[in-house]
Amino acid sequence: MSHIILYAIVPIIVVMLAGYIAGKKGAFSATDGKAFNKVVLDFALPAALFVSIADADRSMLVADIKLSIISLVVIMFCFMLVYYIYKYGFRKSGVTQADAAVMALINGSPTIGFLGFAVLEPIFGTNAYVALVVAIVGIVVNAVGIPVGLSLLNAGNEKALAKNGGKKPNPWKPVIHALEQPVAWAPILAVIWVLVGLPWPKWASPSFDLIKGANASMAVFAAGITLSSVKININWQGILGVILKLIVMPALLLIVGLIFKMSPENLAMLVVAGALPPAFSGIIIADEYNSYVATGTSSLAISVILFMVFCPLWIWITELCVGPIPGISL
């Protein structure tokens, strides 16, 4: 477990802290942070998502249909749960529909694209099952969650504009706008590629590697800059987001997995994937749309730190429920 903390979690904290210090010292401004986020959102992240999904095999998506269905249903249930809790529960506090969509994108999704392999492989080893879990959860988060979240966010902004005297919003416009974003259509295109059965040419991957290599590091660094430019807003809204992400989501995945008798190893990997910190892509989108940035970023920072406790805790709880997990290397 010390290997996980040192090689997966501490680097995130160090890079985020570096961005925070750089922002506080004036080396980078909030505007620079937005520029970095735009590079990640429009180029690095779509490239990383497309290659990681397109490189999968169609048989991987159907090899364990139980894993695929449980991942889709539970993660999207948690996504919408976060959305409705913030939309209706904090309406009197000034939280808008767009803000609720941002929190769903952050605390309703695990950061599987950034940390999936980095966390799961040191625990379960490098094998096809780890790749299967990362691929399936990645497809749910990026090919389903991001388009839905962007659609809800744009719908909220359209309604706000209409209330201020603008035209009545077109219900399809937010969906179309969401699907126009590279971070939404790239993973969807990759899923179609895999389902059609086209093999991904190995010679094409290096063309994407250089830009996708900036994905995690630039996103985390930009999150630190964003954190330095906003007032730390540790309130019940942020704390509730941490609870929903680090406790509710993995708990539901564990319960549903036990009910439908998933294999112990797949269940353990899925629970750990669900317990990953909130999606960095949600923070990037929040900053891009200037919506709920302070609370969302604060919630992310708290979750990254607490993950060092919750990761081994959820592995221990899962082992209590299913017994020793094959292949685990703690």
CA atoms within 13 A on the CB side of 297: 30
Q: What is the pLDDT of the chain when averaged over all its residues?
A: 81
235 domain-assigned: yes
Residue 164 pLDDT: 55
Q: Does residue 330 lie within any of the structural domains? A: no
Task: Kindly state whether residue 130 falls inside one of the protein's structural domains.
Answer: yes
State the pLDDT at residue 328. 64
Of 312, 228, 227, 329, residue with least CA distance to 5: 312
> What value, to the nearest 5°, has the Cα angle with vertex 252 and ends 265 and 306?
85
Has residue 61 been placed in a domain? yes
Answer yes or no: are the C-beta atoms of 106 and 282 closer than 8 Å. Answer: yes
- The tally of domains found in the chain comes to 1
Q: Long-range pairs for 203-211 at CB < 8 Å and ≥24 separation?
A: 205/51, 205/55, 208/47, 208/48, 208/50, 208/51, 209/51, 211/43, 211/44, 211/47
- The total of other beta-carbon atoms located within 10 Å of residue 301's CB is 24
Percent of the chain with pLDDT over 90: 23
Mean pLDDT, residues 68-77 taken together:
94
- pLDDT tens per residue across span 268-326: 999 999 999 888 778 778 877 777 777 887 888 888 889 888 988 999 999 999 888 76
- Does 75 map to a domain? yes
Q: Which residue has the higher pLDDT, 75 or 174?
A: 75
Mean pLDDT of 184-199: 82
3-state secondary structure of 110: strand
Q: Is residue 239, in this structure, part of any structural domain at all? A: yes
pLDDT for 3: 65
């997995």: which residue's tokens? 257
**205: domain range?**
2-322
* CATH code at position 170: 1.20.1530.20
Residue 199 C-alpha from the chain's centroid: 26
Do the Cβ atoms of 130 and 124 come closer than 8 Å? yes
- Kindly report, residue by residue over 87-125, the tens digit of the pLDDT: 998 888 888 888 899 899 999 999 886 677 777 877 887
Residue 257 lies in a domain: yes
Give me the pLDDT at residue 168, please.
56
Most confident of 53-62, 74-83, 259-268, 270-279: 74-83
Rounded CA separation 328/318 (Å): 12
- CB-based burial label for 231 (10 Å; 0-12, 13-18, 19+): exposed
